[in-house]
Amino acid sequence: MARVAIIIPTFNEAGNLGRSLRHLKGLDPPAFEVWVVDGGSQDETVAIAQAASVQILECDRKGRSVQMNEGAKAAKADILCFLHADTWVPDDLIAVIEHTLTDPKIACGGFIALMSGKQTTRWGISLHNYLKTYYAPLLFKPHLFFKGLRLLFGDQVMFCRRSDFWECGGFDEALPIMEDGDLCLRLVKKGRIYQVNRVVQSSDRRVARWGSLKATAIYLYIGILWGLGVPAAYLKRFYEDIR
């Protein structure tokens, strides 16, 4: 049986981390290790992680790419699974990951993210995000689409073999945004990017702040510009941190 490490980058995630870690405690089979990699939180994030008895790594530099790479370096498992602190997974997560990667032609996998809040489910945006996994590479990288490229994003809980991750260079630490899509572009050289037909639940806090129309417009704008090669540093201006 392959060993799976779950790596969670955090920064001021006290409002969500406890729930995520409670879900992870119910995994059957369990993860081999769970790492919370904190980028200098000023709230109770680290205390919540300590109370959950997971492994904690505190980074000198904040940034999701940096933190996820540091977690990957510390992990000992054969498979790396990158999980956002505001995303909740099914209890058979580990079994699904192991089964998916038994296919040597698959280099990376992810799930269908269903975005929801306390009293609403964002069906339209969730559907668009699902379709974007397919239409974005077809439009902007058709030669890679037919080789198996799909564009997965952090909310979709990305996972891959440790060896493939490092052979592709890990996450690009210079990218403040779209580091997940960038990794897909490199991992497809190792094999197909596969979206598992299972759902994970992700917080709608960004949509709740912006509103559905504004959020959809921003997602489309960023996606199109990124597909056309606009630098991620410019795109980050439109994607504020929301806690």
**pLDDT, tens digit (0-9, with 9 covering 90-100), for 197-228:** 999 999 999 899 999 999 889 888 998 999 99
pTM: 0.95
* pLDDT of 191: 98
Residue 239 pLDDT class (50, 70, 90 cuts): confident
* pLDDT of 161: 98
CATH at residue 13: 3.90.550.10
Residue range(s) defining the domain that contains residue 140: 4-238
Domain presence at residue 243: no
Indicate whether 10 pLDDT > 70.
yes
pLDDT in tens, 110-156: 999 999 998 899 999 999 999 999 999 999 999 999 999 999 988 99
Domain presence at residue 134: yes
pLDDT in tens, 60-108: 877 899 999 999 999 999 999 999 999 999 999 999 999 999 999 999 9
Domain presence at residue 26: yes
pLDDT in tens, 152-203: 988 999 999 999 999 999 999 999 999 999 999 999 999 999 999 999 999 9
Output the CA angle 106-92-33, nearest 5 degrees. 80
The count of structural domains within the chain is 1
